Amino acid sequence: MKLISFAIDGEARYGAVEGEMVIDLTARLGRRFPSLLALIEADALAEAQAALATPGPRHALADIAWREPIPEARRIFCVGANYPKIHPTGGVVSGPEFPAIFQKPAETLVPHKASLQAPTASRQFDYEGELAFVIGRGGANIPPGEALSHIAGYACLNDGSVRDFQKHSVWAGKNFVRSGGFGPWMVTADEVGDPAALTLVTRLNGEEVQRTSLDRMFFSVPAIIAYLSAVTPLLPGDVVATGSPEGSGATRTPPRWLAPGDRIEVEVERVGVLENIVGQQLST
């Protein structure tokens, strides 16, 4: 299933995408599961699948307002420097001993089709296409061999980065408001299979700027889950971004910084395409 959070007539809802339509699951399941996060917390994806065949409203994708797949995500974990490449702030990234983890608040991300906010404090606004996954079944000290069974689904993520701020503070460079995108939906894990077999592509104004097979990550999805869950129990609805490959704007000669009007697309095989336009510069 392609599960989506959206709004229509100003009301927040969730549903499943089929073609150009959204099957409204709030109308079918909302009394028990008022949001996609609540559905995941209740381990009720099978009930959502069954509900697709029941009568109820449908909406055209063209009529909805997109929301992030998990708008209420309590925690967004990100893995830095997870591919062999030239690091955007300098130096060569080679295999680290442990994952480099940082967190982002939900306010840093916008949904599919929404405008990113170019910061006024910097002109070094960059893109980073990534695979993200959503935890379904939580737990602590999850063994790598069991890790994939804890995933509810996968989405695309653009970890927007402000590089001059990142040089003195990873937190600052990664946490500008509305600097990244998340979406367009969450594809359930049963439809994706092995994430290491997927290909990720990022396009800037239609030009391919990043391409990688996800098996090139230093730390695989199971290894990331094992590491995170050794530190803190993972919770249903936690979002984890897995890192970005070579090709970001900072590593180009000359650097290619994002500017108002630029269109960023992050595509992950068997998941979908996340698209955002860079909006005008506003104070953060």
- Tell me whether residue 54 is in a domain: yes
* One domain, residues 181 and 40: no
pLDDT at 143: 98
* One domain, residues 126 and 247: yes
Q: What is the pLDDT of residues 225-234, one digit of tens each?
A: 999 999 999 9
Q: Which of 279, 284, 124, 145 is CA-nearest to residue 221?
A: 145
- Tell me whether residue 283 is in a domain: no
* Res 114 pLDDT > 80: yes
pLDDT at 284: 44
d(CA 24, CA 52): 9
pLDDT band at 144 (very low <50, low <70, confident <90, very high): very high
* One domain, residues 95 and 58: no
Number of domains, the chain: 2
Share of the chain above pLDDT 70, in %: 96
Domain final position from 20, 43, 66: 66
- Tell me whether residue 51 is in a domain: yes
* One domain, residues 99 and 207: yes
Task: State the residue for tokens 């299979």.
Answer: 193
pLDDT band at 89 (very low <50, low <70, confident <90, very high): confident
* Count of CB atoms situated within 10 Å of the CB of 220: 19
* Res 29 pLDDT > 80: yes
DSSP annotation of 177 reads T
Across the chain, what does the average pLDDT equal? 95
* One domain, residues 52 and 102: no
d(CA 161, CA 212): 19
* One domain, residues 199 and 272: yes
* Res 120 pLDDT > 70: yes
d(CA 167, CA 43): 41
Q: Which residues does 118 contact at the CB level (< 8 Å), separation at least 6?
A: 125, 258, 259, 260, 278, 279, 280, 281, 282
How wide is the angle at C-alpha 206 spanned by C-alphas 202 and 210, nearest 5°?
25
- Helices and strands counted in the chain (H then E): 6, 21
* One domain, residues 41 and 95: no
Q: What is the pLDDT of residues 163-197, one digit of tens each?
A: 999 999 999 999 999 999 999 999 999 999 999 99
- Tell me whether residue 268 is in a domain: yes
Q: What is the pLDDT of residues 196-247, one digit of tens each?
A: 999 999 999 999 999 999 999 999 999 999 999 999 999 999 999 999 999 9
* One domain, residues 139 and 11: no
Q: Which of 29, 249, 220, 36 is CA-nearest to residue 125?
A: 249
* Res 102 pLDDT > 90: yes
Q: What is the domain-level CATH number for residue 222?
A: 3.90.850.10
d(CA 93, CA 281): 31
* One domain, residues 142 and 229: yes
- Tell me whether residue 284 is in a domain: no
Quote the domain boundaries for residue 38: 2-66
Does this model's pTM top 0.85? My answer is yes
* One domain, residues 205 and 264: yes
Between 278 and 81, the more confident residue is: 278
Q: Which of 123, 117, 207, 131 is CA-nearest to residue 162?
A: 123
* One domain, residues 59 and 81: no
| Terminal-to-terminal C-alpha distance of the chain | 36
* One domain, residues 111 and 252: yes
- Tell me whether residue 260 is in a domain: yes
- Tell me whether residue 203 is in a domain: yes
Element (H, E) at 38: helix 36-41
- Tell me whether residue 71 is in a domain: no
Q: What is the pLDDT of residues 9-19, one digit of tens each?
A: 999 999 999 99
Checking phi first, is residue 64 left (phi over 0); if not, alpha (psi -120 to 50) or beta? beta
Stretch 254-278: mean pLDDT? 98
